[in-house]
Structure formats: structure tokens, C-alpha cells
Structure 1
């Protein structure tokens, strides 16, 4: 095998999984993270799809996440006076709801237990490329060298810009993300997620294992705000804004009113990546949100990142040189992730409907969710499985696109 070592830039979701899978493929991997420690306190709960859990099972981390998560066995869409049951596949594992910080911690700890090393305060500033290796240089003056470099550094990826200075950045969806537990009393069946289209904005809610109602909000905002900018605004002020936004919604108004400022998790602007022309160059390649961050509406962001991390490791295991491995990886991953991203972009438009759209949604939604086509799409997304033991078969992989 000509590829024996890798530098993994980013220690969030994709990075620890990529490093663990690379080790399984016989490639030594080290993870370099810009933060001063494991990424925690970076967001609220996220939905974890069955295909993501199946992918984690490949590297042995699935059960660690299951122990932290709340299974969501039913979901429904609330359109004011009307609630529509959403389709589920009885033969697939239910979606799991997991705190993002808990997910990061579980993946980090699993990788460390597998022997993966992490280095912190390592903000990548440049890369020197050579015929047979790459050298990463960090802001603290240190450097590291390996056969390849993998960018798992998120939507604001430095590696993406190094591969292609003209690469597009992430698009702002026009919404800010928030989440919190609420002390409101809401009648929600156990293991059920309600997606609610309020008068002015979309939100969702569920009942956690402790009996408290958890909720998330996608607040429309013309102004884009980073996490730091959004968190600089006091939580009390954000809650006042949300009381104005959700004040006519049931139970949205109660959820906001019974939320304590200290419990509010502010995530900042929500992103979606447009198609990235170049996934790799030379001995550098992209994985996860750095190259295919779908809207949070898909419930697939973390799952797709994990799939890609493992599939890249398979390609590097099965092909002798980086160019061949990277090309195969992009060729069969791109159609799947871009199809899911396109679906998410359409859902985003429905989250901020105008007055005309709000009137027709109660009639349109039952037709959409009852359609055989949508159920086929969801099964193709969620039924995806990686056969680690099998050689990479591009034709078989493309059947999941």
C-alpha cells in the first residue's frame, strides 16, 4: 500500500470517524483541531438517521451514540389546526435525537480508545505539497507531514480554499438556529417529533426522557450571524424576539414563554453548501461539511459526513495511489449527497411560506407525504448501508444516488 499516513484536519464529526476508519484500513491517522479541546457546546440537538447509525456500526461507534440518543419512532407535521402523520419505514431503525456536544464527545472518545491521537490549538494556515507527501503548517508555528491530508474542517473549510481558491463558500439559508428545553406542559406522545409551521416561522418539539419538552427554532433573519455574533446578544433578547415571532402559535408561544434564558442554545446562521467543483487536488481531499453540508432540514448532515469518511477510507484501502482513490470516492459520493442537499433546499423554502403558500399547505402536505415517490426517496436515503469487507464497487454505490 503506497498510502500509509494521513493528516486529518478537524475534530468534529467527520474527523474522528475518518481517522478511525483509516486505521481500520491500515493507514496511520492523526487529528488536528483548531479549538483548544474537544468540540463541545457548539449546538443543540440533531436528528441522526438510520443510515448514519449503520455507518457508525462499521467503525464500532454505533452503540455509544444509541446510549446517548432518544429514539424518534413517530413524527408528524403540524399545520395549525391540522396534523399530518409522516411516513416511517417499519423495517429501519428509528431516527435518533442526540445532543450535538454528546455526539462529538462520543466520537472523540471512541477514536481515542482506538488509538487515534488528537492535537489541539492547531489552526491550519497553509500546506506545502510535494510529489510523495504533504506538510501542514499551523498558526502556532508547528507543522506535520504525511502521505495525504483530509479536510474535515466544516463549512468554513480552510482545506477547501487551499484545494481551490475559487471554491464556493456555504450559503446562508436565511435562518438562525436555536434550541432549548422548556418547562411548558405540552401533550406530545413519547418518542414523537412534531414539526410545526407557525404563522411566522418554523419550529419543532418533542418530549425528552426526563419529561421536559425540548424544542428547536429556525428563526428567519435577513442578517447572517456567526455563532459568536449570535451568542454576543443576550439570551433574554433572543427570547423576546421569539415571543414576538411565535406569539400566535400553539404550542409555540408556551414553549418560548417557559424557556429560561440560561437554557437557550444559540447556533447562529444555518448553512447549506452549494455543489463544490473540486473535492480533491493532489494529495488533499475533502470530507463532510467541508464539501457537502446539506440543510438541517434533511436530518442527514452528520450521517452523510460519517458515510463519506468511511467510504474515503475504503477507497484509500482499495486503490494504490491518492488520485485514483479520491476520484473514485468523489464519483460515487457526489450524486448521493447532492441529491439529498437539493431535497433539503426545497424544504427550506417551505419553512418560511408566504400567506398564499400557508393557505394551500394543508391540502398539499398530505399528498406529498403520502406519495410513493417520497417514500421511495426516504428509503433510498435511510436504507443506505456500507459493506466494509467488500471491495469498492462504484456501480453498486451509484444505485443509492
Structure 2
């Protein structure tokens, strides 16, 4: 399998293209959106395992240049008291769209074709290859098709249309303000609030990025787009003696408002010539902060399996499914829990014997 058709040009798709090219394969990326940067409001903190994976792809420096390092994690009680603090390393904060932009730029710079405005309609697979057909009437043929098209994956729907994303029970709000919160740059502060799970960090430019998670019913698109969410959050945060209410009050509307979704089980990750990566296979709610990192790990393991093994899709699923599904389950537990549950910023749980490190190390050979 040398020619790789990748559906989806986001983090998972761009990382998969970079990994496939590094493995000596020929990837081509097709993205449904007409331009990059769709999720312009959200930011993420890339955990150490994700940054280590990007280092294996040779793009860690480019990502770090677009981000700022997180050097400390602190936890505040609702009284404002610091109840926990620890240093962090190899963690970086940036906008989700900026990470996507960097990975796409790196892919294009390495000669990987990336086509926008290509919405998948159907996939036809036979013993000699796989064909993707798009809404504009064009088609492309390859040896393998990778579904990297996210939570509502068209590729996954073609494999098994019974898998439906599940509302995980929380709304998430993202905001940004030029007013600096009372914190040093590079410090991630998690707030154990009375009714909102809140986190914020300050950039070197003294801008504050924040998120808030609240329990509630699923919001309709019209409700998410409605004004007034800032005042709603301020009211929820007002009784806590933390900077959270002031940070939200200083943020211009509209806020980015989203529902949390996950995929508790995806029975079918692959066929003979089609395979899923990233959120298309194992979307988790954002509580663990591991979505981007899991996607980059998928990319490396799939590329190495294609490079090293006779049964690459079987090997990829065997290695990735347990770790990815453990993250989905952990994130679901945190999302369902009380608002004082604090996301653990850092590496996803890893076996003590270093199996994950060997799985991701580019020079370590995978076996069937």
C-alpha cells in the first residue's frame, strides 16, 4: 500500500500525511472545508506525549514556534486558595486552528498535495484498490483510504452507519481576552468552582485564554449562537472567590460555545483498504485534553505499520484501540463527574515497561 488517500485535512489528517510521507509512502489529502482554520475560537494544550509524537515527525519546532510553553499547573479551590501546583514540561498552548495550520504548512512544504473543498460522497473498494468520489464529481484512486474526518466522519458512516456520536452531558465555552489574568505566563490554572469547571492561562503577550465546562442539556445550533452566554457564565462564577468571573466579564462576545460529544464504541475501525484515525475512530470529550495527542500518535503507528508489517491495518488497530478507548472512557468519567474534577494535563496513561514509547519511536520496528 503506497498511495494513501486521506479524507480530512485537520490535525489527524495532516499528521497522517506527514507520517506516511516520512515512511516513504505517497499521501494526498482531501479536505471538505474550502479553507483552513474552521475552529478558530478554541485553544488546546498539547500534552507531552503529543509533543513527543510531533518530534518524531520532525515538526515539534514549528509547532513550538506557533505556541507558548506551559511550565506550571496549578489548582485553585473556589475560595481562591492554591490547593495544588506542579511544574510541567513539553506542554504547549495554542489555538487549535493554528496547530492545524502549522501541520498543513509542513505537509505542503514537504510536497504533499492538499486539496480543499472536496466533500466525500462515497467510497468504492475492490481487491486492487479503493476509490473516493467527491460531491464535485471528481474521484481519486489509491491503495489505502484513511478516514481522518473527525467526529462526524463520512468515512466511518460508510463503514458502519449505526455509530452515532453521544452527547457527553456538558457544554464547553472558550474565550480570549487581551486583559491579563492574575497569573504568570505559561501557568495553567484549573479552578475547582462550585458550578463551572474552569481553566485559564496567560500568554507571553499577556493575553488570557480560558475555557469553562458546565453540565446541562444539549444545546441547539440556535442556542449556541445566541447572545448572553458571557453574562450567564459570569453569574455562575460570581460566588467563587477566584479570578474566573472577572476573566469572563472582560471577554468580548460572541464566545465559542460547543456541546461535548464522544464515541463510546466504534466496532469497526477498518476494512481491507479503509481505516479510521483520530476522532473518526475514537472521539473523546475534551476533559482529558488528549484529542490532538491521540490523533498524532495514531498517525505515527499507522505509518510505521504500513512501513514495517505485512498486516498493517490489523497491527495498527491492535496497538491503538486499547489506549484510545481508555482515553475515551477516562474522559467520559471526568465529564460526568462533579465540577471540581480537574483535567490532568500531561501524558496519557502509559505502561510502565515503555511499550508506548517504543510504539511511537520512529526507528523502532513494529512487528505483526
In structure 2, do the counterparts of structure 1 residues 243 and 18 end up closer, same or farther at CA, with 3 Å as the change threshold? same
Q: Structure 2 CA distance, aligned partners of 1:331 and 1:222?
A: 36
Root-mean-square deviation (CA, aligned residues, Å) is 2.5
Spell out the pairing of 1:105-116 with structure 2 (5 A cutoff).
105-116=101-112
Any conservation in 2 of the 1:155–1:290 contact (CA below 8 Å)? yes
1:390 to 359, 364, 368: 364
Q: How many residues align?
A: 362
Spell out the pairing of 1:24-35 with structure 2 (5 A cutoff).
24-35=22-33
- The residue that corresponds to 1:128 in the other structure is 124
Structure 2 residue runs without a partner (length 5+): none
- The residue that corresponds to 2:330 in the other structure is 343
1:283 to 255, 264, 273: 273
2:251 to 259, 265, 283: 259
1:175 to 164, 170, 173: 170
Note the alpha carbon deviations across 1:229-279, whole angstroms, 9 max, x for none: 455323xx22122222222232222112111226x3x14212222121111
CA drift at 1:184:
5.0
- The residue that corresponds to 1:162 in the other structure is 158
2:49 to 51, 61, 66: 51
1:294 to 281, 284, 292: 284
1:150 to 110, 130, 146: 146
CA drift at 1:282:
2.0
Note the alpha carbon deviations across 1:187-226, whole angstroms, 9 max, x for none: 2133211111222211111221111322111233302345
CA drift at 1:377:
6.8
Structure 1 residue runs without a partner (length 5+): 354-360, 395-401
More helix, by proportion? 1
1:233 to 223, 226, 242: 226
My pick for the range that moved more, 239-248 or 30-39, is 239-248
Q: Structure 2 CA distance, aligned partners of 1:275 and 1:54?
A: 27
- The residue that corresponds to 1:217 in the other structure is 212
Any conservation in 2 of the 1:230–1:267 contact (CA below 8 Å)? no
Any conservation in 2 of the 1:184–1:254 contact (CA below 8 Å)? no
SS at match of 2:337: helix
Any conservation in 2 of the 1:172–1:224 contact (CA below 8 Å)? no
Q: Structure 2 CA distance, aligned partners of 1:390 and 1:376?
A: 20
Any conservation in 2 of the 1:72–1:192 contact (CA below 8 Å)? yes
What TM-score do you get using the length of structure 2 for normalisation? 0.90
Q: Structure 2 CA distance, aligned partners of 1:97 and 1:198?
A: 22
Any conservation in 2 of the 1:311–1:329 contact (CA below 8 Å)? yes
Any conservation in 1 of the 2:6–2:27 contact (CA below 8 Å)? yes
Q: Structure 2 CA distance, aligned partners of 1:187 and 1:84?
A: 16
Any conservation in 1 of the 2:40–2:95 contact (CA below 8 Å)? no
Any conservation in 2 of the 1:230–1:268 contact (CA below 8 Å)? no
